[in-house]
Each structure stands twice: as C-alpha cells, then as structure tokens.
Amino acid sequence: MNEPQVFTSGQRAYLSSLAAVDMVDASSRIHYADWFRIECMRRYREGEKPVDLFRQAGLDPKLVGHKRIERAFARWKRSPEPLHPKPPKPKSRDTASDPYDPRDPRDRLIAAQALRIQQLEEEIRFLKRA
C-alpha cells in the first residue's frame, strides 16, 4: 500500500490559505471547510465530478492527490451534513497592530459579523468559478 504524500511546508501553507481548507496538519491530513464539503456533495449529486469541484476551489488534484479526493468523497457520502456549517476561521491576523479585545462584547460581535461576511464572500467567489 502506498504511503500518503507528505506536503512540504510551502505546500501546507498554500493549501491552508485556501478558503475550502480549514487546516493541513503535520501528518499532511487536509481538513476541509464544512461549507466546501456541503457544496461539493450538492454539486456531486447534480452530476459534477469530484476532481472538477476540487480544481474549481483552487485545489490542484495533482497536489492533493486523486486518492485523497476519492477518500474524502467516500467519507462525505457516509457522514450526515451539519445543519449550520461553521463560518471559516480567519487565515491570519496581525495581533501586534490589532486593538481587538476578545472579552469586549462589541468586539466579539464585530468579529463574528466580519467572519460571516468573509464566509459569504468566499462562497460567492466559489460559486462564480462554477
């Protein structure tokens, strides 16, 4: 049996920067965003190919690997869809110049709204590529 491909630090950083990816861990497992999984399964059921869906999200099948894509779809077919997918987490933040205080309820509200706006903008960009 073939060993899974281990990504370089640059490849992990690139994959992690994509909206469809929540994170890539040290063992090179890719954790996909819930909204991406839901959208992929919806479009897959409409007849689109998994490889094309990954490619449209900026995930190069040669980099990710066809076996990973096949396994992801097999896993997604077996699992129930979440009722409310979590909004994507911000990919990076400069904390030195950011006066954000997570204890302030106003800042938490603003951060939650900014996160929701970011999620919607990413979904729009994803759907425009379709």
The DSSP bridge pattern shows strands 21-24 and 30-32 to be antiparallel
In tens digits, the chain (130 residues) has pLDDT values of 454 578 888 888 888 888 888 888 877 889 888 888 888 888 888 898 999 989 988 888 898 888 989 999 888 888 776 545 555 555 554 445 455 555 666 666 777 787 788 888 888 888 888 6
Q: Where are the domains of the chain?
A: 9-129
Distance of CA 79 to the CA centre of its chain: 17
Predicted local confidence at residue 13, as pLDDT: 85
Interacting residues of 20 by C-beta distance below 8 A, sequence separation 6+: 32, 33, 36, 57, 58, 59, 126
